[in-house]
């Protein structure tokens, strides 16, 4: 039997993306198809979404969707089966989906994502004659209210909430509660209330039948007071329905054999020669010395505290001291961006950076660097280390969340069993990162060992096959027993 899943998300690749959430929402429909799961996805009708949905059909009109008329438009967009909430007063704004031109959250985000969740709940409860899902799969706080809206219906589909980053919780003033159109009983600790405020993620976590997050490691961490960001109590209470399912990567977009961005394509067999060409290319592009023997560390990241970028900036002397180089691609915190420019000035030819967001350059940094740094303080799953594994670029990572689940440290035990594929460090401090950089440089100087680590990484399954199987099994558990 085909399982019909209605996904609800505020971003989906390739239509609209700010982070890993979009990648997951975009990849799951195709990955789930062989498992007998058909996914349709409700998304806000941002300009980019409506443009891609030009052939779409109006399947429902809404007289008042939180302050204005709206409609649901269904159709195919870039291979995805989309139902867009076309609400001009909420979503007809260019640029980042959450932030205004001043870089601050849109003040009406509470309304925008309540409207998204309300519309998704209506579809879930059968508002479209021709479609009724078996399961609703909501992603992150923007979709969290969906399950508050479906909870009070006499019958409703099974519900799964996936947390991509617990740091974003969607908390708003309790004075907005009457505008949400929920029954009074929804406002309480047993409902959407969160320490006196309204919590959209909290609502989803409370009402969902099942909770998943994007790695087993993160699933365990966020149940602790240290990493639970205020939600650990609720998450502990809901432990019995919570699992961690790792993300896969888009194996077509991230395939060193066919990647159009690379100076030289390669497979495991041809990696050595081709990677040397890619290394020379990225060194040239970022103004680094053409030094084939220097270990080249790469970074492709948002430049934020979460990502541990301050620890890397502090370790620039460590990298230079090891005779190594650093290739940086990132954007974010202005102080951190400036830090790399300064470092580049102090160490010309050894540190190269490009500040901004550039998909092609990200591929080139991955293919040309010897090691890829991911020093995150917390990391729900992380994609960059998975790209590193696939590209034969040794991941050097903090031992947190999904990083600890996917990278096997080159310690003596793992080396003797032949299973190591990278370097981990913990705790996430300047000192331990320094040791990790030094260990990596030492490994690099043992070519046979390095090659073995690289080959192990390239052989690792980072596809969506296994994760999709797990999601499908979870959905199946929630089907009504006939
Ligand atoms: P997060 O979603 O927390 O930023 P992930 O590792 O899950 O972290 O996903 C980050 C994604 O964004 C990866 O696909 C990474 O390659 C990409 N990325 C981050 N910064 C840049 C950048 N400056 N240019 C291009 N791609 C980037």
Average confidence (pLDDT) over 431-440: 98
For residues 250 and 178, the model is more confident at 178
pLDDT band at 480 (very low <50, low <70, confident <90, very high): confident
Token representation of residue 417: 């069993």
Evaluate: CB of 337 within 6 angstroms of ligand 1: no
Instruction: Tell me the C-alpha distance between 327 and 344, whole Å.
Output: 10
Closest ligand 1 atom number to CA of residue 385: 6
CA angle 210, 213, 214 (to 5 degrees): 140
Closest ligand 1 atom number to CA of residue 356: 23
End-to-end Cα distance, the chain:
12
Asked if pLDDT for residue 103 goes beyond 90, the answer is no
Q: Whose CA is nearest to atom 24 of ligand 1?
A: 357
Instruction: Tell me the C-alpha distance between 141 and 165, whole Å.
Output: 9
CA 470, 473, 474, 475 dihedral sign is positive
Asked if pLDDT for residue 482 goes beyond 60, the answer is no
Please give the CATH architecture assigned to the domain spanning 271-459. Answer: 3-Layer(aba) Sandwich (3.40)
Same fold, 3-248+465-477 and 271-459: yes
Q: What is the pLDDT of residues 371-422, one digit of tens each?
A: 999 999 999 999 999 999 999 999 999 999 999 999 999 999 999 999 999 9
Q: What is the pLDDT of residues 116-169, one digit of tens each?
A: 999 999 999 999 989 999 999 999 999 999 999 999 999 999 999 999 999 999
What is the residue extent of each domain of the chain? Answer: 3-248+465-477, 271-459
Closest ligand 1 atom number to CA of residue 384: 6
**What is the CATH code for 3-248+465-477?**
3.40.50.2000
Average pLDDT, the chain: 96
Among 93, 65, 307, 289, which Cα is nearest to 179's?
65
């Amino acid at each position: 039997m085909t399982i019909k899943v209605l996904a609800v998300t505020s971003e989906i690749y390739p239509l609209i993306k700010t982070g890993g959430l979009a990648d997951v929402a975009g990849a799951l429909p195709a990955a789930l198809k062989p498992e007998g799961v058909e996914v349709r996805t409700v998304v806000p009708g941002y300009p980019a979404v409506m443009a891609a949905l030009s052939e779409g059909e109006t399947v429902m009109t809404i007289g008042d969707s939180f302050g204005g008329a709206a409609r649901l438009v269904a159709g195919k967009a870039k291979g995805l089966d989309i139902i867009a909430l076309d609400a001009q007063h909420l979503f007809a704004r260019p640029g980042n989906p959450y932030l205004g031109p001043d870089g601050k959250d849109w003040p009406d985000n509470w309304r925008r994502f309540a409207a998204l969740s309300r519309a998704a709940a209506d579809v879930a409860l059968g508002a479209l004659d021709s479609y009724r899902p078996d399961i609703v799969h909501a992603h992150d706080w923007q979709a969290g209210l969906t399950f508050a809206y479906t909870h009070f219906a006499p019958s409703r589909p099974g519900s799964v909430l996936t947390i991509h980053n617990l740091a974003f919780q969607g908390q708003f003033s309790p004075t907005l509660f009457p505008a949400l159109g929920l029954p009074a009983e929804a406002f309480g600790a047993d409902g959407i209330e969160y320490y006196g405020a309204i919590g959209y993620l909290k609502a989803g976590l409370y009402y969902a039948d099942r909770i998943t997050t994007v790695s087993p490691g993160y699933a365990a961490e966020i149940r602790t007071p240290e990493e639970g960001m205020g939600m650990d109590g609720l998450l502990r209470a809901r432990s019995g329905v919570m699992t961690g399912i790792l993300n896969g990567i888009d194996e077509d977009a991230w395939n060193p054999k066919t990647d159009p961005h690379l100076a030289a394509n390669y497979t495991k067999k041809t990696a050595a020669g081709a990677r040397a060409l890619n290394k020379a290319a990225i060194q040239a592009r970022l103004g680094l010395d053409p030094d084939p023997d220097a270990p080249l560390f790469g970074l492709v990241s948002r430049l934020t505290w979460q990502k541990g970028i301050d620890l890397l900036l502090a370790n620039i002397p460590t990298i230079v001291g090891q005779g190594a180089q650093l290739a940086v691609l990132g954007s974010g915190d202005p102080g951190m961006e400036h830090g790399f420019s300064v470092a580049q000035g102090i160490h010309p030819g050894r540190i190269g950076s490009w500040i901004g967001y550039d998909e092609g350059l990200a591929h080139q940094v991955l293919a040309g660097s010897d090691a890829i740094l991911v020093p995150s303080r917390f990391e729900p799953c992380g994609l960059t280390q998975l790209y590193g594994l696939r590209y034969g670029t040794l991941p050097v990572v903090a031992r947190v969340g999904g990083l600890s689940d996917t990278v096997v440290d080159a310690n003596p035990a793992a080396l003797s069993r032949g299973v190591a594929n990278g370097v981990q460090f913990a705790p996430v401090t300047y000192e331990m990162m320094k040791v990790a950089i030094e260990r990596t440089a030492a490994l690099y100087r043992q070519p046979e060992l390095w090659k073995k680590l690289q080959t192990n990484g390239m052989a690792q399954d980072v596809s969506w096959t296994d994760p999709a199987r797990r999601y499908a099994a979870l959905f199946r558990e929630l089907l009504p027993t006939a």
